[in-house]
Chains A and B, each alone.
Chain A
Amino acid sequence: MLLIDCPYCGQRPESEFTYGGEAHIARPPDPSALDDAAWTEFLYLRHNPKGPHAERWRHTHGCARFFNAVRDTRTDHFLATYKTGEPKPELPTPEKAR
């Protein structure tokens, strides 16, 4: 089980949280202006990286608030957590899997 650092509550076990998918995917401001390719991108295409992944989490069984995290998908090691609305932190790319 992962230990997740909620920006509001501190470190809590993963079972208190709900995963919310890739972060920083903004809802299109003018949906009717999108063509099929842009809709596909918004609805279905995800980065699915083998490495640092920006993602949403919700501290469901705690403060119940959403926040974002960067986690290395090769190790499940959390590189950062930050509040919703804040920009994704600039992180040095980890050299290799820890």
Chain B
Amino acid sequence: MPPNKPTFSALSLLRQAFGGHAGWEKQWRSPEPKAAYDAIIVGAGGHGLATAYYLAKEHGLRNIAVLEKGWLGGGNTGRNTTIIRSNYLFDESAAFYDHAVKLWEGLSQELNYNVMFSQRGVLMLAHTVHDIQVFKRHVHANRLNGIDNEWLTAEETKEFCPPISLDSGMRYPVLGAALQRRGGVARHDAVAWGYARGADAMGVDIIQNCEVTGILRDASGAVEGVETSRGTIRARKVGVVAAGHTSTVMAMAGVRMPLESYPLQALVSEPIKPIFPCVVMSNTIHAYISQSDKGELVIGAGTDAYVSYTQRGGLHITTHTLDAICELFPMFRRMRMLRNWGGIVDVTPDRSPIVAKTAVPGLYVNCGWGTGGFKATPGSGHLFAWTMAKDEPHRINAPFTIERFRDGYLIDEAAAAAVAH
């Protein structure tokens, strides 16, 4: 943690407790935008804030602005189900997501901010013969890449997660599962806040309520700044990390993206005592569930079918997911749901992200995380910062270009998982 911020410790918590916790300072400033910066990040979600943090921490850039249309962490960072894992099929994805998991493992210490990363294990349920074959293939591929992932029989699955029903009369019975023990969950808001606090301490300006309305380019076509709702801000490097709105922001520079934006819904139940020991995912019947430390069941659905920016989605999509949850976990049939919401996810044709330079000099893009970007937050920021600082991709994100669609080098996790994930 940089020296000019008071650090969190047991002692500082105790001291503040005697003062009724009224003495905590603001964790970041709310500066006015300057006329010019060395680099601008568009979007103060987890990925954007992490990018700014690592640009400042590892690449020595301090004159950075993060511009946010709304409030920081208010988009998909605050709307996801916080699942973290790295057991992806292809070498490129496995390297990227495991880079992120390794950063997750030290993140609370790195940021001096408790992101509540809990490696409670992620179970991916198999319901069909095809699922079994696919997951076993994943287990073997992951083992070759040094990533933990193991196959559990149905009985072992039940032992690891007792709430699961093994009733053979179910429409999609549980036949086994792949388990990544290093997988788990983290506190989504804390990730955004921790990176914001860390970046701010190194001099990064986080400017909220500042919508980018245009991208400025000089006579040679290179980026020279952005127009915003709070005036013109100049910079020779602009990194767009705008999730569902990436297409609209990139269109301001005349760049078309292989992306479509869909609503992805999630919901939480009333809080209950600790009952659910791990994360369970079922891609086949679209149910994703874990229990937060507050006690709420956190449940994720699949995407809605159509392109939309409404942050809503249809009720029948969540109903479909709850059908699956109730069949898998009969004990939850009488649970009441407290809230549901949608986020807008930007989905690429191969369901792998784009973390790359663009054809426009000085313009960089980090997008296409689709339905599973939260897990990659530290790795994404770390590698995108490298790419922006050095004007060339890191070895790990080098395959994740826009041009892969032209050149046919897809990283086809869509086919590997058979669904968005």
Contacts and interface: CB of A to CB of B under 8 A. Distances in A.
A8 interface: no
Nearest to A51: B309
Q: Contact residue range for chain A?
A: 20 to 34
B318 to A, nearest CB: 11
Contacts of B259: 46, 48
A44 B314 contact: no
Contacts of B306: 19, 55, 71, 76
B416 to A, nearest CB: 18
B310 A75 contact: yes
A11 interface: no
Contacts, number: 59
Contacts of B308: 73, 76
B314 A74 contact: no
A1 B315 contact: yes
Given A15-B316, A45-B258, A73-B309, A50 B248 contact: yes
B310 A36 contact: no
B405 interface: yes
Contacts of A39: 406
Interface residues of B, number: 23
Contacts of B247: 47-50
A35 to B, nearest CB: 10
Interface in A29-44: 36-37, 39-40, 43-44
A2 interface: yes
Interface string B347-365: 0010000000000000000
B321 to A, nearest CB: 15
Interface in B384-409: 405-407
Contacts of B307: 22, 46, 48, 53, 55, 73
B93 interface: no
B349 A43 contact: yes
19 contacts: A19-B305, A19-B306, A22-B307, A43-B349, A43-B405, A46-B258, A47-B247, A48-B247, A48-B260, A48-B307, A50-B247, A50-B248, A50-B309, A53-B307, A55-B306, A55-B307, A73-B261, A73-B309, A74-B309
Given A40-B258, A43-B405, 16 more contacts: A1-B314, A1-B315, A18-B305, A19-B305, A36-B406, A36-B407, A44-B258, A44-B349, A46-B258, A47-B247, A49-B247, A49-B248, A53-B307, A73-B309, A73-B310, A76-B312
